[in-house]
Amino acid sequence: MSKLPAALLLVWRFFSAMTVSAWATILTILTASDAPRRGFARLPYGDLRESGVMLLAAMVTLTPGTSTVDIDSDRRELLLHLLDTDDVEATLESIRQEFMVPIRALFGERR
């Protein structure tokens, strides 16, 4: 994937994810009879360059329901706080597919 299509795709996916996550977060807050099960998850980012990792961390934090708590450069992973941990793997896979794929095309891998 070349850089221009990757950038456009990333912008589209980010704003789509923000919209969907905002509505899901609102519904969770307003309709849940019990408090959502909050928790932490680790997201490995592999050999993504530092600039790509910073963008990924910012995008995750700006998406409602998720926050980047720490970037562990030794373990090459992000520590995320999730508002709802009912399906952690689906959340992480969504971040991998929606954000990491185009970010990797934009910033490449560390050499």
Structure tokens at 37: 């099960």
Tens-place pLDDT, residues 4-44: 999 999 999 999 999 999 998 888 878 877 777 889 999 99
pTM: 0.89
Reported in sequence order, the residue ranges of 1-111 that DSSP labels E, i.e. its strands, are 39-44, 66-72, 77-82
Instruction: Provide the residue ranges of all domains of the chain, joining segments of one domain with +.
Output: 3-107
Identify the CA nearest to 78 among candidates 19, 86, 103, 20.
Answer: 103
What pLDDT shows up at residue 111? 63
List, in sequence order, every beta strand (DSSP E) within 26-65. 39-44
In angstroms, the CA 58 to CA 15 distance is 13
One-letter amino acid for residue 60 of the chain = V
Question: Token match 């963008």: residue?
Answer: 55
Q: What is the CA radius of gyration of the chain?
A: 14
